[in-house]
Amino acid sequence: MRTKSSAIAPTRIAVSGRPQATCGTLQAAAGVTAFSLTFPATAWGLEGFGPWSLVAVRTVLAALIAGACLLALRVPLPARQHWTGLAVVAGGVVFGFPLLTTLALETSTTAHAAVVVGLLPLTTAVMSALRIGTRPSRTFWVAALAGAVAVLAFTIQQSGGALTTADLYLFAALLVCAAGYTEGGRLAHVMAGWQVIGWALALCLPLTVPAAALALSYEPVQLTFHSVTGVLWVAAASQFLGLVVWYRGMAAIGIPKASQLQLAQPLLTLVWSVLLLGEHLTLAAPLTAAAVLVCIAVTQRARG
């Protein structure tokens, strides 16, 4: 009897592990899908909201959702020594990136923005190396530089030989978001990843509520199906719930496998820009996105 039970036990463990890995992959993929729809949803939101009111309203809605989750689960307040880090996350992920990309999308296509912001994993990797003090290999730096050059060449070619204001907004968005991601990754070692963005959102409510009221009083609002759907998506899915399933999936299948799924995000955004917005892609857009994808894969392999 002992021999029989010992033979069966490993089989049960192996079978039970497969659904967990599958569920983790699906959750991580759902997070990537949510993020890939951010720019098209923002473009929809701009059809009825001004850029400042759109960012303020999406932040307030996301903060209310995050605050409700934190209260429902009775999550204790973060320790005081973590507040500075949460402020960096808020400045980069809650305010900086949404505002700068929204301002860019007033004059830039979502396809163009998707290619430029596709450089974010490389920017975050470089920022993380500088912040933590690690010394990546020469291969890492060569691949990172190649990806940056590819995106810079694309932006200059698409802009007629010079960078536009929208390009400057996008490059600034890369820097502030990379700083927020880096600090959020550091904080994720002491609290759950979703709690990092949750507290960053919730602690900003005293600022975002009056900011939303002020912006709405100055910028006219036209409630349409597109504008309302766009705001709800970027608030609920892009800025909070997408991060929740992303972190849960990453915990289940590991950072390397989850990161491989995220490589498809810029290409997915290009698909949504065509299907949802009717944009016409030049050949340079998917080719540059694919080149950046290869560079990111090389940096991940070099870091691993």
pLDDT given at position 11: 39
> Which among 282, 92, 56 is positioned nearest to 173, based on CA atoms?
92
Question: How does the average pLDDT of the chain come out, rounded?
Answer: 83
Q: Which pTM was predicted?
A: 0.81
pLDDT given at position 258: 65
pLDDT given at position 226: 95
pLDDT of the chain, 304 residues: tens digit per residue: 444 444 434 434 444 456 777 787 888 888 889 989 999 999 999 999 999 999 999 999 999 999 999 999 999 999 889 999 899 999 998 999 999 999 999 998 998 898 888 888 778 778 877 777 767 778 878 887 888 888 888 888 877 777 889 999 999 999 998 888 888 878 877 888 788 889 999 988 999 999 999 999 999 999 999 999 999 999 999 988 888 888 777 767 765 566 667 777 888 898 899 999 998 888 888 888 888 878 877 776 765 5
C-alpha 261 chain-centroid distance = 13
Instruction: Tell me the C-alpha distance between 194 and 250, whole Å.
Output: 11
pLDDT given at position 245: 85
pLDDT given at position 8: 38
pLDDT given at position 261: 72
Token digits for 240? 């909070």
3-state secondary structure the chain: CHHHHHHHHHHHHHHHHHHHHHHHHHHHHHHHHHHHCHHHHHHHHCCCCCHHHHHHHHHHHHHHHHHHHHHHCCCCCCCHHHHHHHHHHHHHHHHHHHHHHHHHHCCCCHHHHHHHHCCHHHHHHHHHHHHHCCCCCHHHHHHHHHHHHHHHHHHHHHCCCCCCHHHHHHHHHHHHHHHHHHHHHHHCCCCCHHHHHHHHHHCCHHHHHHHHHHHHHHCCCCCCHHHHHHHHHHHHHHHHHHHHHHHHHHHHHCHHHHHHHHCCHHHHHHHHHHHHHCCCCCCHHHHHHHHHHHHHHHHHHHHC
- Domain ranges for the chain, please list them: 25-302
Instruction: Tell me the C-alpha distance between 289 and 284, whole Å.
Output: 8
Q: From residue 75, how far is each of 68, 196, 242 by CA, in Å?
A: 11, 11, 20
